[in-house]
Each structure stands twice: as C-alpha cells, then as structure tokens.
Amino acid sequence: MYTIALAVMLGLIAGVVLELVVDKLPFLNKIPVIGDNAVLYIVVSVLIVWLTDTSVLGAFGIGATDKWIDVVGSGFAIAVVNTTVVHSVLGYLNKK
C-alpha cells in the first residue's frame, strides 16, 4: 500500500518537474527524441528515482543484480503507475 502511494507521489513530483523543465527550456520540444513529453516523463521519473535512491521494484521483492536495472525499472514503474492513475481519475471525473 505504501509502495503504491510512494510511486504515485514520485510520479506527481516527476510531472511537476517535467512541467517546469518544459516551460523553462522550450528548446527541448524541438529535439526529435525528447520532443514527446512521454519520453521526457520517463527520463524525469528515472532521474527522480536515482536522486531519491528509492526502489519500487525492491519493495515488491523484485530484486535486481545491478543497481542501474533497479533504478531504470523503478522509473518505468513510477511512470506507468502515475499515468494509469491520472487517466483513471480523469476518466472518472469526466463521467460526472
């Protein structure tokens, strides 16, 4: 339960950081690989996992042998969980 809350919280932080980066550095949208905000969101999620030294995968018992695999996997997990939660909440709110 707390792991999901941590993943959602880190995902929200990644979303705020992404908005700040895109607003302050508009030339990032012109780079073909990073121009899509979804790719940049995954990069920011992985960066936040690395900076906070958290392991979402390790909390579920999915241990990795190398540290970078755990960091990248946890970043992907945070990006996926937050995207799913945001779409679910927005879908529920749009029904009413």
Domain of residue 7 covers: 2-95
Decide if 43 contacts 34 (C-beta within 8 A). yes
How many Å is the maximal CA-CA distance in the chain?
A: 47
Q: Assess contact for 18 and 40: CB atoms under 8 A.
A: yes
Structural domains counted in the chain: 1
Is this structure's pTM higher than 0.85?
Answer: no
Q: Of 78, 9, 8, whose CA–CA distance to 43 is shortest? A: 78
pLDDT for 89: 82
pLDDT for the residue 33: 73
The pLDDT tens digits along the chain (96 residues) read: 687 788 888 888 888 888 888 888 888 777 777 666 778 888 889 999 999 988 888 877 776 668 888 889 888 888 888 888 877 888 888 886
